[in-house]
């Protein structure tokens, strides 16, 4: 399967702590994207990292990409209750015309 | 203001019925998609259209027929609904295949 795999499946931390989620994939990519989905809502794009990039930042988000290990991580710093959501990685595989989504990490921020 | 909109938000129907879900985007994007999200939150692409032309059809039963009357609209018609069709269906759009996607709010379909 070309599907990305996310780890952990669920993560529960205290407000103010940092949250790290990981994504692994199997074949070469053009880019990797992270999305957030709040309960009962559509997915919202967070950040896109290209295969020739190693790190990107957006506000409290930091994404890294290691193409040699075929893995990416999403770090959310200084977490807030509003960050409670499911987070998905999506890979744009070379030769494909579609994004393939992982199964997501369910993040819970406890006040 | 809504970028990608879908109607209806909820759809409850009986097995064997035919139903449609509509999607519209006002972002000027060339590419639109339909995804199915199952009860375990697994999101899988069903169809993709670029400038009204079908470019992806992911082994979806032919009971599902997408239609794109113009670049801003992509509708999904489902014939002879089955229990296994119960899921949340998301429409999305993007400027092109290599870019980020913008998702609609989803349509929760329940088949009884």
Query: Both tokens of residue B55?
Result: 């470019």
Model pLDDT for residues A73-110, shown as the tens digit of each residue: 999 999 999 999 999 999 998 877 789 998 999 999 99
CA distance A29 to A96: 9
Model pLDDT for residues B35-70, shown as the tens digit of each residue: 999 998 999 999 999 888 888 888 789 999 999 999
Identify each DSSP E strand in chain A by its residue range.
5-7, 10-14, 19-24, 29-37, 43-50, 55-58, 61-66, 71-76, 85-93, 99-101, 105-110
Q: Which residue among B42, B100, B106 sits closest to A103, beta carbon to beta carbon? A: B42
CA nearest B40 in A: which residue? A103
| Residue numbers of B between 37 and 66 with CB closer than 8 Å to A | 40-45, 48, 55-56, 58
Q: Which residue among A30, A42, A103 sits closest to B98, beta carbon to beta carbon? A: A30
Mean pLDDT, range B85-99, rounded to an integer = 91
Query: Both tokens of residue A16?
Result: 């103010």
CB B75 within 8 Å of CB B22: yes
Query: Both tokens of residue B58?
Result: 């992911």
CA distance B75 to A62: 36
What is the rounded average pLDDT for all residues in chain A?
94
Top residue of B100, B103, B104 to mutate, by most chain A CBs within 10 Å, is B100
CB A105 within 8 Å of CB A7: yes
Q: Which backbone phi and psi does B84 adopt, to 5 degrees?
A: -70, -10
CA distance A37 to B42: 12
Model pLDDT for residues A24-71, shown as the tens digit of each residue: 999 899 999 999 999 999 999 999 999 999 999 999 999 999 999 999
CA nearest A97 in B: which residue? B97
CA distance B39 to B26: 29
């Amino acid at each position: 399967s070309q599907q990305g795999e996310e780890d952990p499946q669920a993560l529960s931390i205290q407000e103010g702590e940092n949250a790290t989620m990981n994504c692994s994939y199997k074949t070469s990519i053009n880019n990797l994207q992270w999305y957030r989905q709040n309960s009962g809502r559509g997915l919202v794009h967070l950040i896109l990292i290209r295969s020739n990039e190693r790190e990107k930042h957006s506000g409290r988000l930091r994404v890294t990409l290691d193409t040699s290990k075929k893995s990416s991580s999403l770090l959310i710093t200084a977490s807030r209750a509003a960050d409670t959501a499911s987070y998905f990685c999506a890979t744009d595989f070379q030769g494909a015309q579609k994004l393939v989504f992982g199964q997501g990490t369910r993040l819970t921020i406890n006040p | 203001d809504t970028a990608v909109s879908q109607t209806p938000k909820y759809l409850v129907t009986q097995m064997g019925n035919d139903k449609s879900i509509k999607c519209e985007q006002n972002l000027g994007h060339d590419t639109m998609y339909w995804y199915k999200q199952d009860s375990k939150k697994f999101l899988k692409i069903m169809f993709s259209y670029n400038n009204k032309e079908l470019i992806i059809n992911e082994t979806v039963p032919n009971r599902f027929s997408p239609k794109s009357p113009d670049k801003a609209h992509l509708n999904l018609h489902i014939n002879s609904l089955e229990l296994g069709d119960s899921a949340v269906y998301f429409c999305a759009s993007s400027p092109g295949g290599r870019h980020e996607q913008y998702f609609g709010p989803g349509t929760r379909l329940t088949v009884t």
